[in-house]
Each structure stands twice: as C-alpha cells, then as structure tokens.
Amino acid sequence: MLLLASGPDGQLIGERLLKTGPTIAPSRIERHINQFADDLPTPVDAIGIAVPGLVHRDTGQVEMSDVLPQLNGWQPRRLLGEDVTQVLVNDIRAALIHSSRSLRSDATAAIMLAGTAIGMAAMSGGRVVTGVNGWAGEIGSVPMPTPNGIRRLDQIAGGFAIVAAAGMPATQVHAALAAGDVRVTEIVRSAGEAFGLAIATVVNLFNPEVITLAGGTLKYDRYLDAALLVAEQTSLPPLWQACSVRRAEDADHVVALGALLLADRANAGLHIENDAIADSAVAEQQ
C-alpha cells in the first residue's frame, strides 16, 4: 500500500509504503489512511483511493478484487471527514490518468500493467472506455489456450504465475535469471510472450497512438524483450507503426499519482464520473 501526499504546488510532502497482502481488511486500510493524514504537516482537502479491483461506476463500491479479496463489497465512508473530497477508482484507471496527462485531448491511448496480474485501461478519442459498469479493460481475464487447457492471461503472464511456475519467490527468480538458469528463463520468456500477445490485441483492437507499460513484472530479465518481439510480430503492421510503446515515467508511483490527480480535479469541482479520466486529462493540459 503506497500512500502519497502532495501540497498546493504539486510537490510531494509525504510518502509511506506499507505491507498488505490478501488477508488485509478494509478497516486496516482505513486506519492506515487516517494515520498517514494525521502525520501530514497540513490538513487534507481531498483523497484519491486506487484499488486493484472492479469499482462500480455508479455505487463507488469495490465489486471484485482478486488481489485483495477482503476489499470485495468495500464502500469506504468519508475517511477524513464530510468536507474532504473523496474518490475511489480502479488502480489501472488511476494509472491511465497519470500516464495520459500530456497527450492531446482527443488522444487514443492505453496503459497496460504487468504486476501480480495483468491490467489495462484505455481511452479512445479522449474519452475513457468504461463499459456498462465501468469495468472495461479487464484484459487479464482474457481466455488463452495453453497445453493445459484454457487459462486466463493473468494465470500465464502475471508475476504471480511466474513465481508459481518457478516455485521460488521473486528475489530468487531474479537471481536465477542472472545466473542463466534455463528453466526459469524459459518460464519468464513464455510469460513475456503471452503479455506480448495482449499488447498486440490492444494494438489491433484500439489502434492507439500510445501504449504505456508499467508494473514490477517488467523488471524480470527477458520478459519485456519477449513481449515486444511477439507484439510486433502479431500486430497488424500499419497499426504497430502508428503506435508508440513506452515504459511509464514514475513507474513505481504511477497509480498513486493518478489517484492524487483525480482527487485534485474532483476537489476543483470537475466532473469525474463516467468520463472522469478524460475530463481530468483535458483539464490537466489546460
């Protein structure tokens, strides 16, 4: 759990990183947020909360989170008081607002996160692709054929899948890759190729001008190289040539920075539902 705070000039004035895990309860998360706010040098005007899960567009409730299942059904109360603006958003959507803030107002772009699982959010013509409930972009749930049957993309390309297949924690996976372990290298390369197919899918479906990549799984040696090779090979050439695939700036903070930006825009009275990220991105440019 990454907690960030910014001052009126946009500069960070507070940062805290806390361990969570699948058993963490909403009450603990709320307690951490309150403690962090209490320790800041100035009162808080607005708060943005980005969660790894499906957030219902109308109710503002976490409908499903595979990574943090205790958040299912969570609808946080006004954590810092009724006068403090509060926004709850999916983590990939938050990352999209930060990564697209410098694009044209009518841009078509996407962000793809390769972390514990795989996530994606996209905007087309400057408007966020939301779906009927605001859940569009769950590319990690796309079914993929494998020798062992149909699996979700998450189950073959995400960081959890790599660790499970290797039978060792992430630190040891990195060490094995550095040592040239053939078995682990093949596991990572195969996972990267699956992520590359996902990139090509986004290229061919949305014809974006930019795809931003982020997430800790990209740090595995051979993963990103394999992904980009397969993505180029399986994308339609004109669409691939029109698209810039780039690593995210502020990659370790991209989600939290997006949540901060959304909170700031909401506090300024800008519309943040439905087309929230598009509106916020335009406002940031203006």
- 130 and 230 co-located in one domain: yes
CATH of the domain at 77: 3.30.420.40
pLDDT at 21: 86
- 240 and 188 co-located in one domain: yes
- 220 and 187 co-located in one domain: yes
Share of the chain above pLDDT 70, in %: 94
- 111 and 239 co-located in one domain: yes
Give the total number of structural domains in the chain: 2
22-80: per-residue pLDDT in tens?
899 999 999 999 999 999 999 999 999 999 888 887 788 899 888 889 999 999 888 99
- 83 and 13 co-located in one domain: yes
- 28 and 134 co-located in one domain: no
| pLDDT over threshold 90, residue 186 | yes
- 88 and 121 co-located in one domain: no
pLDDT at 271: 56
pLDDT at 132: 85
One-letter amino acid identity for 68? L
Question: Is 9 a domain residue?
Answer: yes
Question: Is 100 a domain residue?
Answer: no
Q: In which domain, by residue range, is 195 found?
A: 106-247
